[in-house]
């Protein structure tokens, strides 16, 4: 073997060693990083819960990024009435427990401030301008359905009841009367022109399954934010509790 | 004698090996999400050939009832997938490596020769530069597919804010189908890719980690001293004995 050949042989060996060594170190580091993330601690029960802490941080950062693209001019696509589903899917009954609920005696509580609660009956809400929407309702599970809802737009509701100061806050919270289901909404999404406090589905009053007498329809969010049977509406600069965000889902859940 | 020949740039190797685990995590977390509405099938005349996926599949890979977890992983690793892909494309543009990558006019004809050769139907070896015709088509396709996953992903992730992307992808339903189909495409690519890498052998595999391949060169003219001056005294016309 000539001198030249042996140096090439050495060179090959050296480069193999460096490259595969580096590759092994990085692979091990990546695997370690994955193990760390996969086994990372879950959040304590709070406004959000049950997600791995680093993933929750990432969700919140991703929310900040995508909020830059939110606009009241970005409207959800609407459809002709004839496209709307006749059998509207019921996916969850959480918060709709019987426990003595009587839709006739229902009242909506709007918490305007400390000890300043606005109590409204169905007639008060129906007196406001009615808006219809036929849109593709999207579930976080991946299914969707074109549905027809009608009620009062949240912005109309806010302006009629002079909730301007409240709407300057960052979040809206809504709860069922028994407080078993609750959602937190960022104010821009709540004030989106297609967000509706709905009392009709397919031109008929809501059934109990679909959240009678009044429910939230917020097309810029996944279905999990479309709370049925609204009992209380509140305003806050801090995130209100959110049922599914406490089960590991993204708080924002915006579309 | 052996010669070292540089083959793959550091940027290509880096992005390739970052992409592998990131895409694996994207596919896994994507399956956690898909499980929640796992409705796709391939049917002919109402007869279901394949269901994506059979219950056993979800059970075996432990993919059930993990939607929130799947979404959390998916919407973190999408950033790494996107940034890594973007860096790779940037590298091919800046370095000019795209010239060796994108298919030429002749590639589409030549690719058949590659396929026939690889299946041992044809003996002649088709032209192999850095990438042969079939590789050019496959590797360019996979990059377009990656971009497609990004776009169809955005279409189903933010269909209200990026309604125009959803529209470009043929609507929410079709975008979800495309997003899913692209993933199946990756799985197919992966199988063929791994088989080809195994068949191509160690030298080729090493070049994607170490960057170089070792070529066997029979003679390197400049290092071979001539034994003596050519003997011009011999009459070239005289027949050899």
Cβ count near B55 (within 10 Å): 10
Cβ count near B149 (within 10 Å): 24
Choose between A95 and B134: higher pLDDT. A95
**Mean pLDDT, residues A120-135:** 96
Task: Round the average pLDDT of chain B to a whole number and report it.
Answer: 88
| ipTM metric | 0.93
At A49 the pLDDT is: 93
Are the beta carbons of A249 and B2 separated by less than 8 Å?
Answer: no
- Chain A contact for B81 (CB, 8 A cutoff): no
Pairing mode of beta strands A131-138, A171-175: unpaired
Q: Is the Cβ–Cβ distance between A177 and A215 less than 8 Å?
A: no
- Lowest-pLDDT range of A74-83, A242-251, B50-59, B103-112: B103-112
Count Cβ–Cβ pairs < 8 Å, chain A vs chain B: 105
A-chain residue closest to B206, CA distance? A16
pLDDT-derived band at A80, boundaries 50, 70, 90: very high
Distance CA A192, CA A158 (A): 12
Helices (H), A129-195: 154-160, 164-167, 187-190
Q: Is the Cβ–Cβ distance between A133 and A197 less than 8 Å?
A: no
Distance CA A150, CA A127 (A): 13
At A1 the pLDDT is: 47
Angle between helices B171-200 and B133-157 (to 10 degrees): 150
**Mean pLDDT, residues B90-118:** 85
CB < 8 Å to A12, chain B: 2, 4, 214
At B228 the pLDDT is: 59
At B114 the pLDDT is: 83
Own/partner pairs, B215-221, CB within 8 angstroms, 24+ separation: B215/B2, B215/B3, B215/B4, B215/B5, B216/B1, B216/B2, B216/B3, B217/B1, B217/B2, B217/B3, B220/B1, B220/B3
Q: Is the Cβ–Cβ distance between A232 and A183 less than 8 Å?
A: no
B-chain residue closest to A16, CA distance? B210
pLDDT tens across A37-50, in order? 999 999 999 999 99
Q: Is the Cβ–Cβ distance between A107 and A227 less than 8 Å?
A: no
**Region of residue B8 (left: phi > 0; alpha: psi -120 to 50; beta: else):** beta
Residue A74 has its nearest CB partner, among B36, B163, B209, at B163
- Lowest-pLDDT range of A167-181, A200-214, B116-130, B147-161: B116-130
Distance CA B234, CA B241 (A): 13
Report pTM.
0.90
pLDDT tens across A168-184, in order? 999 999 999 999 999 99
At B225 the pLDDT is: 58
Query: Does pLDDT of B223 surpass 60?
Result: no
Are the beta carbons of B73 and A2 separated by less than 8 Å?
Answer: no
Distance CA A241, CA A46 (A): 8
Residue B75 has its nearest CB partner, among A18, A62, A144, at A62
Q: In terms of Cα–Cα distance, which of B218, B217, B223 is closest to B5?
A: B217
At B126 the pLDDT is: 76
Residue A55 has its nearest CB partner, among B72, B159, B163, at B72
- The number of C-alpha atoms within 13 Å of B81 and in the hemisphere containing its C-beta is 24
pLDDT tens across B5-55, in order? 889 999 999 999 999 999 999 999 999 999 999 899 998 888 889 999 999
């Amino acid at each position: 073997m000539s001198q030249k050949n042996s140096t090439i042989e050495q060179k090959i060996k050296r480069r193999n060693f460096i490259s595969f060594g580096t590759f092994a170190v990085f692979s091990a580091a990546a695997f370690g990083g994955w193990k760390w993330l996969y086994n990372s601690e879950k959040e304590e029960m709070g406004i959000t819960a049950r997600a791995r802490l680093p993933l929750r941080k990432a969700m919140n950062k991703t929310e900040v990024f995508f909020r830059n693209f939110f606009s009241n001019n970005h409207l959800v696509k609407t459809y002709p009435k004839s496209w709307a589903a006749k059998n509207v899917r019921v996916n969850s009954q959480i918060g709709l427990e019987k426990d003595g609920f009587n839709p006739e005696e229902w009242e909506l509580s709007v918490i305007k401030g400390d000890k300043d609660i606005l109590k409204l009956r169905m007639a008060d809400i129906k007196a406001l301008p009615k808006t219809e929407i036929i849109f593709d309702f999207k579930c976080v599970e991946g299914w969707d359905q074109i549905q027809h809802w009608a009620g009062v737009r949240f912005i109309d509701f806010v302006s009629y009841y002079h909730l301007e100061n409240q709407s300057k806050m960052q979040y809206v919270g809504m709860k069922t009367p028994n407080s078993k289901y609750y959602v937190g909404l960022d104010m821009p999404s709540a004030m989106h022109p297609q967000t509706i406090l709905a009392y009709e589905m397919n031109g008929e009053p809501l059934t109990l399954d679909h959240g009678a007498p009044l429910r939230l329809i917020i097309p810029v969010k996944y279905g999990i934010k479309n709370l049925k049977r609204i009992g209380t509406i509140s305003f806050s600069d801090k995130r209100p509790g959110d049922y599914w965000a406490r089960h590991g889902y993204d708080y924002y859940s915006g579309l | 004698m052996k010669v070292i020949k540089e083959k793959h740039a550091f940027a290509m190797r880096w992005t390739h090996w970052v992409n592998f685990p990131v895409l694996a995590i994207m596919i896994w977390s994507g399956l956690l999400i898909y499980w929640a509405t796992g409705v796709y099938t391939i049917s002919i005349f109402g007869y279901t050939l394949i269901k994506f996926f059979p219950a056993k599949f979800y059970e075996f890979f432990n993919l059930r009832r993990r939607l929130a977890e799947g979404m959390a992983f998916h919407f973190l690793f999408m950033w790494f997938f996107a940034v890594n892909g973007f860096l790779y494309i940037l590298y091919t543009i800046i370095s000019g490596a795209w010239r060796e990558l994108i298919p030429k006019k002749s590639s589409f004809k030549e690719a058949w020769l590659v396929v026939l050769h690889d299946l041992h139907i044809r003996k002649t070896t088709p032209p192999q530069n850095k990438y042969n015709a079939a590789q050019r088509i496959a590797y360019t396709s996979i990059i377009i597919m990656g971009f497609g996953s990004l776009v169809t992903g955005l279409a189903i992730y933010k269909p209200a804010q990026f309604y125009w992307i959803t529209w470009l992808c043929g609507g929410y339903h079709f975008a979800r189908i495309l997003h899913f189909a692209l993933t199946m495409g990756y799985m197919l690519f992966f199988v063929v890719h791994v088989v080809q890498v195994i068949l191509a052998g160690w030298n080729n595999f090493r070049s994607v980690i170490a960057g170089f391949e070792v070529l066997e060169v029979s003679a390197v003219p400049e290092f071979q001293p001539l034994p003596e001056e050519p003997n011009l005294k011999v009459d070239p016309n005289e027949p050899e004995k």
